[in-house]
Structure 1
Amino acid sequence: MDITKLVVSSREKAMLYGDYSTYRSQLAGKLLNCRKKLRIATKNRGDYKPKPPITPEQIAGDHGYLHLQLLTAERAWAHAMALKAAHSADTRGISAQPRSRIISRLDKAARTAEVVAETLSQSGTSGARPTDILEAHAYAALLRGTAHFERQSWEECLKSYSVARIIYSAVSTPVKGDIFKDLLSETIDPSIRYAAYQAKIPRTQPITTIVRKAFLHADTEVIDLVRTLNPDVMEHGGQDAKQGVSGTEGTPTTLKWRGREVKIEDAAIATAWASVETEKACLTEKLSPSDSLRPKDMAAAYDDILTASQDAVDVTKQAIDEFKAEGVTQSDPRMQSLQITRTAVNYELVSWRIGRNRVLIGEADGAHPDVGEAPTRKKTKEESEPERHKDVAPGRQIARLKEKVVLYDGTLQSIEAVTELPGVANDQVLSSRLEATAQYFTALKCLAIARSHSIAGNDINTLALIKYALDKCQEALPVLSAVEVDGESSPRNILVTGRDARQLHELLSGELQRARALVGIHQLEKMAKASAQAQDSSSKPPLTSQLSNYPSGGPDLGNIVHYPPQVESIPVKPIFLDVAWNYIDYPDKQGQAPGRSTTDRSQGVRDDANASSATEQEAKPQRRGWFGFGR
């Protein structure tokens, strides 16, 4: 019959595209179609006749009669919710008349559902299974609890909601688990908690205890069916039976952190903290054969404790928000206890988150170069041994180092978040240890970056980063040396022991000597190369001596001239001979030397002739006037 699934799916579909008024209109159409199929619909312009009650035989013959009753109850519930939503914006709250109408609609829905439950209880004629009968009673109790909630009858409200919670926990299956879980977490549990608060029930009582006490006042038939179907639910009070939490018996009443012991007054916080302690023991058991687990599998083992820690953080924050809404001041002892609890559960969450990062990085927190590698696929027997140990490409090595750096950054951010928690700054011992832990992971981060520079061939950057990492490790070593853990098999968390710090310090000291040696070798090679180039350049002629030749490989700017300069001949253009030629006096023909050559004599004759013609021209009188006409 799937009563719960039918109701929940109808509500979800209607709320997805509209509101409660839309849901009510849809239900009116479904009711008319259902009556038409069953041939009990009132004809147009016909007189209304009261419908006879539904019998078990009718339900056994056709489940449409059951759907008809469920749709009728849902329409009344949707009408009440639509009225409540319409008046929810009133500043003074819902007045008496609208509230009375809302309660009337809810009361009608609850009476209709109770009739369905009574009809199905006759299993001999209705053909209903025990789970169907329990679901019908749970649905009726849920609607009745909603009506008592609006009436503000808190004791009756607790009884009705307790019946619904116990039954839904009993009939929950892996197939329908999500439906019942949503009903419990979103509707039933918040209503029970608020009704218990209004009924002056102490917060120290968990919901399971309240529900178990209230369920004893339920119908005897319902109690017998629940005991037959799932007796553990009666003992543990509902959903927590499958989680191994038995109300107040299995939850702690105090919380110890940093030498302080506070009383846990909220039952939800106590349950969540008990779950954290349980998951801590389970994590230790899972990681006991750590040698046979890969880093990825070891990190997956932290999921449960991280979930439990996050639940504890959420319920603590919710309790603080409720106190603030009630006007409780920060100086109130209850608020002070909650603030200490908040710091403790947040510290626990961040601690396990850092531990998961440390497991992913690898052994020794990724200090060794052969750890923290990405998990590879399993090797087959056909693969040879040399192929398994094949060298990894530099690009993949740098990529893995980048993954390590990302994990180190996340760890440093988590440590910074811890330092901002209330009360941490006033604890000098804890603050100094957190600062030393941050320096430890900073040294590891610098070591990973230095190794990437070493792979890329930047030896000077590698030396500088390793020196900085060693300085950070030396600053953290005195503080971390005082931290020792009893048993090295405990799961990794935020606690860095002195053994880890000393191992890192020894490794960085060796890496520093290695980096210095590599830089020294690099400098010697550079000096040898420079001297070789200088010798080669000194044996070759300088660039100024080869101006007529074009250098095929480019000019050697390191060999332009000889240095230090040397005394050598410099080729120049004989321009001084041309200038000196103008100042040479040649003797005339008469004074020519006897040994003068024929060419020189002919040249002298030409010079003498030119000189005599010039003398004759000077002896002639010059003409005056225009065009040579003189007087």
Structure 2
Amino acid sequence: MKIEVNMTETKSNDSETITTTQQTSGAKNDSSKGPESIYTVPLLKLIKEAQQQHGLRHGDYQRYRTYCSSRLHRLRKVLHFPQGDRKGFKKREVTLDNLKDEKFVYLPLIQAERAWAYAMQLKQESNTEPRKKFHLVARLRKAVSHTIHLEYICQSPLCDARTKLEAQAYSAWMQGTLFFELQEWKQASEKLVLSQTIYEKLASALNEDEQILYKQRVEELNPNLRYCAYNIGDSSAQQDLLNMRSKGGKSELDALIAQTREKQAASLLEVTWRGRTVPVRLEKIRVFLLAYQGLDASLGKANDCDAKLSAYETILLDCKEAIQSLKEDLAAVAKTKVDLQSSQLGSQQYLLSYLTFLRATLTIDRNLVMVDVFQKNFAAYQSGESKKVAKPQEGVKLYEAMVQLSGELQQLQGMENDKKFQNDLELLTKVFKAFRCYYMALTCQGNRQWAEALALYQRAETYINQSEGKKLGDSEFTKYSRVGQDLAHLRSLVNSGKCAAHAQNILGVEDINAAMSGLSVRSKKVYAAPDLQIWRLAVYKLILYM
């Protein structure tokens, strides 16, 4: 687009206008370029490119701030727009009158970025130095003032509609960031929603290549908006915020989730387990217990096994941190205080037993999901439907881990005299051992170790006989009833495998005897009778099933 300039008049002031127009367009000696160009400044693209190239890819805000300062100095030098001279500093701001080049728009933009980068640097340092929080807010206020000035000069007729909208969106985002730090949730939400709306409209108006950047910006604003809605009092935003973690959010999202859980955990002051209530003093334990309460909802929304495994890995990591913090607290108390001998377990030791119980049961739950995945892959590999190799050793490892976890739970401090607890764990251990023996037998069969495979099948059958028909009575273990119900199917697999191993074992012994009897000093030939072997196997199966 071009802005037409009336060049028919010959007055001196019109000549000055034409000269100014020619200088602005960068063609002082070419009178054919008299009309001024409308500036199109893709602010978001410029910002993101600079951030990725100068430190923010690695979170180095100090490097980015240094770059902004150097860029400002170079721009002022190129535009002949210094702030003062050798005698002293004289502040000069870009106005509508001196907006002769689109690079003048860059000045308030880079000033705002420099102030924002300084604020983010202070935010990283404020974790150890709380005083820097005040300096952080001051820098954000400075950044907001620069963005408001940027929005003002972009209202010039020399800027196109896209530049005006981008300036409005950028200014609204910066103001929303300031209100967010000040915890003024309503104002922050209004500004962030305005910014998000503008970026959405811009994305819909641009081509596919340019849309990606603006859609990413829209997604980046979602966590802050959810958190604002939660603090304002929107109950639906609370669960939405926690559910966003499974979508692979960034570190800011993890921080927001942590803040949300800490706020909810303030009311979680005690926990009751197996009829005993103990206080919860440490914040990490409260946050973990809160996450554990929402685990069932997260698993219910999981679409596949991978999503379930991801949820288990996350909660297990939180559990590990909670146990570590409690152990450190108990160690610190032990150094300063000698507890009196008591027959009853201390409240914090009992809490440690509870957390250890949760860690073990969560690990078993995760392993059972992994077993489901393994069994599907193993069946597909055996039937030839899949070329992905699945070996029975994988099943052995999974069930071996569950056997060890069951043993740890049986030795859990404070649970030694709980007969119901111990009986259920003993039953679970036998079930896991039955499956472990079955997969070990399959491994031996693959190695043509028929005698060992037969012995393992018989051991698996023993465990099945000891476990089948019994029920888990403790409410803590009723969720594992499905594992006990699988014993009937396991029995059929064990019976068929045992028959095959027995037959192969007999044939192997007879083949050895035949080979030994056929040996002589004069002859080294061994005569095999494959038809006779097939006949013997058929006769054996016939006798077995009569």
TM range, normalised to the smaller chain? 0.5 to 0.7
Q: Distance in 1 between matches of 2:279 and 2:169?
A: 39
Q: In the alignment, is residue 432 of structure 1 matched against residue 426 of structure 2? A: yes
CA deviations 1:474-532 (Å, max 9, x no partner) are: 135423532489xxxxxxx9665344223323443443344334433444454455556
Aligned length: 428
2:362 matches 1:359: no
Q: CA RMSD in A?
A: 5.8
The residue type paired with residue 114 of structure 2 is R
Q: Verify: 1:75 aligned to 2:94, yes or no.
A: no
Equivalent pair of 1:343/1:422 in contact (CA under 8 Å) = no
Provide closer, same or farther for how the CA distance between residues 63 and 137 of structure 1 changes in structure 2, counting only shifts above 3 A. farther
The 8 Å contact of residues 405 and 445 in structure 1, kept in 2 or not, is answered as yes
**Cα distance in 1, alignment partners of residues 195 and 351 from structure 2:** 33
Match of 1:112 among 143, 147, 152: 143
Q: Secondary structure at the match of 1:45?
A: coil
1:576-596 per-residue CA deviation (whole Å, 9 max, x = no partner) reads: xxxxxxxxxxxxxxxxxxxxx
CA distance in 1, matches of 2:101, 2:346: 62
- Distance in 2, Cα, partners of 1:261 & 1:175: 52
Aligned runs of 1:78-477 on 2, under 5 Å?
A: 78=117, 99=131, 103-104=134-135, 107-117=138-148, 120=151, 127=161, 133-143=168-178, 156-157=182-183, 159=185, 163=189, 167=193, 208=227, 211-212=228-229, 214=231, 236=237, 240=241, 243=244, 269=288, 272-273=291-292, 276-282=295-301, 301-317=304-320, 340=354, 343-344=357-358, 347-348=361-362, 350-362=364-376, 372-373=381-382, 376=385, 400=389, 403-413=391-401, 416-417=404-405, 420=408, 426=415, 427-454=421-448, 461-477=449-465
Q: Percent identity?
A: 14
Give the whole-Å Cα distance in 2 for the aligned partners of 1:418 and 1:168.
55
Counterpart Cα distance in 2 of 1:180 and 1:315: 30
> Any gaps of 5 or more consecutive residues in structure 1?
147-155, 190-206, 217-232, 287-300, 378-395, 455-460, 486-492, 538-542, 544-550, 556-631
Give the structure 2 partner of residue 581 of structure 1: none
Q: Take 2:238 and 2:103, find their aligned partners in 1: how far apart are those partners? A: 34
Q: Counterpart in 2 of 1:504?
A: 490
1 CA distance for matches of 2:490 and 2:239? Answer: 51
Structure 1 residues 163, 504: closer, same or farther in 2, change over 3 A? same
1:343 CA drift (Å) = 4.1
Distance across 1 between alignment mates of 2:192 and 2:446: 60
Residue type at the aligned position of 1:51: R
Tell me the distance in 1 between the aligned counterparts of 2:240 and 2:49: 19
Letter of the structure 2 residue corresponding to residue 360 of structure 1:
F
Note the C-alpha offset of 1:310.
2.6
Return the alpha-carbon distance in structure 2 between the equivalents of residues 145 and 109 of structure 1.
Answer: 11
C-alpha separation between the residues in 2 aligned to 1:123 and 1:451? 78
**C-alpha distance in structure 1 between counterparts of 2:299 and 2:126, whole Å:** 48
Compute the displacement of 1:84 (Å).
Answer: 8.9
Q: Residue type matched to 1:75 in 2?
A: R
Write the distance in 1 (CA, Å) between the matches of 2:98 and 2:428.
72
Measured in 2, the distance between the counterparts of 1:169 and 1:273 equals 35
> What corresponds to 2:505 in structure 1?
519
**Contact conserved, 1:110 with 1:141, CA < 8 A, in 2?**
no
Structure 2 unaligned regions, length at least 5: 1-41, 201-211, 247-256, 335-344, 416-420, 474-478, 526-546
State how far apart, in whole Å, the 2-side matches of 1:524 and 1:129 are.
92
2: distance between equivalents of 1:518 and 1:105? 77
* Structure 2 CA distance for partners of 1:514 and 1:313, relative to 1, 3 Å: closer
Amino acid at match of 1:278: A
Contact kept, 8 Å, 1:355 with 1:494, in 2: the verdict is no
1:34 aligns with 2:34: no
The structural deviation recorded for 1:31 is 1.0
Aligned to 2:86: 45
Choose 1 or 2 for highest CA Rg.
1
Match of 2:64 among 7, 23, 27: 23
